[in-house]
Amino acid sequence: MDQTRIQKILSSKRVLQFLFFIAAVALVTYFFPGEGKFRYTFQEGKPWKYGLLTAPFDFPIYKDEAVIQQEKDSIMLGFQPVFSFNNTVGTKSTTDFEKSLGSHPNLSISPSLRKNLVEALRDTYRKGIVSSDDYTRLQTGKFKEIRIVENNVAREMPVADLQSPREAYENIINRFPDAYTHHVLQNCNLNDYLNTNVTFDSITTDRLKDNLLQRIALSDGIVQAGERIVDRGEIVTPQTYRILKSLESVSLKKSTVNDHRGYTVIGQIIVFTCLFAFFYLFLALFRPQTFNEMRTLGFIMMLIVGLSLIAFFFSEVRVQGIYLVPFAIIPIIVVTFFDSRTALYVHLITVLICAFTAPFALEFIFLQLIVGMTAIDSLSDLSRRSQLMRCAVLVFFAYCFAYIGYTLLSEGDLSKLNYNMFIYFGINCVFLLFAYLLIYIFEKSFGFISTVTLVELSDVNNPILRQLSEECPGTFQHSLQISNLAAEAANKIGAKAQLVRTGALYHDIGKLKNPAFFTENQSGFNPHTPLSFEQSAQIVISHVNDGLKMADKHRLPQAIKDFIATHHGKGKAKFFYNSYRNKYPDRPVDESKFTYPGPNPFTKETGILMMADAVEAASRSLKEYTNESISQLVNRIIDSQIADGLLRDTPLSFRDVETIKATFIEKLKTIYHTRISYPELNKSEKPREEKAPETPAQTTGI
């Protein structure tokens, strides 16, 4: 790869890293809860935990909501809703009723009775008739009087004097007790002439009500700038608490004003920039491979921002709602795909971002750090579902113990425990179980691989491994030996043992295409005999690309494909290469025909597999297995790979290499240890007759 292309790749990575950074800061700032946050947390009846506090500016002392509500209720007790009186309705209905009485064909009504009936209806309209709904509301409400406006003149009327159409009908009927008058009124359809003439005026009523409520003073004092409020250790009295709540309210209002809001946003940008810069610095210094892999970096930034936005939402919904967010799910997911230190740093950054929305920031940070470390320590290698359940239980107990301890430290009294918090912790841990589903989704979406998947892939009953054991039994046994060698070495140097174990099982699946061309599968006839060295080398080398094609066909993860592609690196098929050079010393060699396509190993795990593959294959050719011969073989093979630059791209240190060598030597000694030679029975000698054991009777002399 030329220098220009390398620079282009590095430049594009830097651009993406910068874009991820800007996007993360922008999203967290944009969705951060709009209100500012008061810098002090306090409780009535508890000591003030900070230094001397003086008023930064003049501000009123607001009344408690309960006091204001009492004043509102007191005002509303004497309030009179406004109704409009309509004379026209009564006049028209009375006139129509009078005409009806005079023109009814079947009734003979005396003038005096007619006059009395009309006068009764007229008196009813003078008192007023309200709708049935208004009548019910007034009778069941707290109002004793209403205000009736007639011709722009207001007068008060007791609620008891109001009538609904039904009440008016009954009053008129009761006014005339004789049966004949009842008969007349029924035949005249009195109900048709009883209409509402007093209607509720909602606009005027609301205006008057607002005017009265606006007269209520929301404050009953003022604190001047520089005035002492409270000092460290002093008990927050009810009055001090009211002053502090007033200061908090005014401060938050100031933060929402455009000028102050701008400063708040600038502060948020600075804080979040510092946090993400701190995280980038950690990755660049201690996890450069993660930092330079855009897929991985984007995934981690997505986790941080995503959980932060969820926390922002829950903190807005409920005061303690942020404790419903399963923050421990972040370290669980990260430690499953990467490592514990990265998981801890990701968790720390997420917690620090969300702490700015927590009601008690110090308590929140303390609890989440304890819980995060508990999750990481209890789930360093997720390979079974039961482990996640155990982790959730441990996280719940960690929450409970940490919360109880913090409360005792700060309050000194168990009665101050908020038992709702334990419910939040329980719900939190139930949400934590969804990590198993998320891990599967992220595996498929981002191409990562978890230990659970590796364990599933290492099952020898998988179709491709079963086919390998049946068609290439020698290669299968070779893969099993390498799997054990490489996993042991990975454990010794702190690499991912399960990953290298599974990768070793699949690294030679490409040999399924031409199994007989590999010595471990041959049983006498060698198909390389009629072929040239170049042809044989190409067939052997092709098992790498054949393996990658099979891996694509069976949808193996990219991490497993890396083992297939790199287990020979860019090394040579040395048997055929050396044979060619020995036979044709004067001919030029086309080295590309004897060279594997690569790439060279680039992780600790792929480097371990390359060494284990070469050492295990070469160990089969030893004539005798002694400590010296095995040690010489291991050192020669690995030193040759280092000299050829095949391990240059791996993060393996010299100490790691020495540890790997020692592990291989010990394992090979165990595999090829000298076995006991059992002596054969000499046919010329007869077996000795064994003396029969004494019976109990002989022993006792009976």
Considering the domain boundaries, does residue 375 fall inside one? yes
Looking at the fold, whether 392 and 430 belong to one and the same domain comes out as yes
Give tens-digit pLDDT for 434-458: 999 999 999 989 988 888 899 989 9
Q: Tell whether the model's pLDDT for residue 372 goes beyond 90.
A: yes
Give tens-digit pLDDT for 247-301: 888 877 776 654 556 778 898 999 999 999 999 999 999 999 899 999 999 999 9
Looking at the fold, whether 392 and 467 belong to one and the same domain comes out as no
Cα–Cα dist 49/234, whole Å: 8
Among 431, 446, 461, where does a domain finish?
Answer: 446
Confidence of residue 702 (pLDDT cuts 50, 70, 90): very low
Considering the domain boundaries, does residue 647 fall inside one? yes
Among 399, 429, 446, where does a domain finish?
Answer: 446
Considering the domain boundaries, does residue 267 fall inside one? no
Considering the domain boundaries, does residue 548 fall inside one? yes
Looking at the fold, whether 467 and 539 belong to one and the same domain comes out as yes
Cα–Cα dist 169/175, whole Å: 10
pLDDT at 277: 97
Considering the domain boundaries, does residue 241 fall inside one? no
Considering the domain boundaries, does residue 437 fall inside one? yes
Looking at the fold, whether 473 and 541 belong to one and the same domain comes out as yes
Crossing angle of helices 340-354 and 361-378, in 10° steps, is: 160
- The counts of H helices and E strands in the chain are 29, 8
Which spans in 412-509 are helix H?
Answer: 420-432, 435-446, 451-457, 463-471, 473-493, 497-506
Number of Cβ within a 10 Å radius of residue 336:
26
Looking at the fold, whether 458 and 408 belong to one and the same domain comes out as no
Report helix, strand or coil for 189. coil
Looking at the fold, whether 463 and 397 belong to one and the same domain comes out as no
Among 446, 478, 497, where does a domain finish?
Answer: 446
Looking at the fold, whether 505 and 413 belong to one and the same domain comes out as no
pLDDT at 180: 65
Q: Tell whether the model's pLDDT for residue 85 goes beyond 90.
A: no
Specify the number of domains making up the chain: 3
Looking at the fold, whether 203 and 296 belong to one and the same domain comes out as no
Q: Tell whether the model's pLDDT for residue 103 goes beyond 60.
A: yes
**How far, CA to CA in Å, does 620 sit from each of 518, 578, 614, 624, 676?**
13, 19, 10, 10, 20
Tokens 């099979």 — which residue? 550
Looking at the fold, whether 348 and 489 belong to one and the same domain comes out as no
**Domain with 205 in it:** 74-213
Looking at the fold, whether 463 and 583 belong to one and the same domain comes out as yes
Considering the domain boundaries, does residue 30 fall inside one? no
CATH number of domain containing 583: 1.10.3210
Q: Tell whether the model's pLDDT for residue 10 goes beyond 60.
A: no
> pLDDT averaged over the chain?
85
Give tens-digit pLDDT for 311-329: 999 988 877 889 999 999 9
Looking at the fold, whether 436 and 573 belong to one and the same domain comes out as no
Considering the domain boundaries, does residue 234 fall inside one? no
Answer positive or negative: Cα dihedral of 458, 460, 462, 465. positive
Looking at the fold, whether 436 and 473 belong to one and the same domain comes out as no
Give tens-digit pLDDT for 578-630: 888 888 888 888 888 889 998 999 999 999 999 999 999 888 888 888 888 99
Give tens-digit pLDDT for 337-366: 988 999 999 999 999 999 998 878 899 999
Residues 6 or more apart whose CB falls under 8 angstroms from that of 561 comprise 548, 551, 552
Cα–Cα dist 400/402, whole Å: 6
* pTM more than 0.85: no
Report helix, strand or coil for 33. coil
Q: Which of 126-140, 367-381, 382-396, 639-653 has the lowest mean pLDDT?
A: 126-140
**How far, CA to CA in Å, does 386 sit from each of 186, 270, 436, 509?**
83, 42, 11, 32
Structure-block tokens of residue 434? 């969804």
Crossing angle of helices 420-432 and 329-337, in 10° steps, is: 20
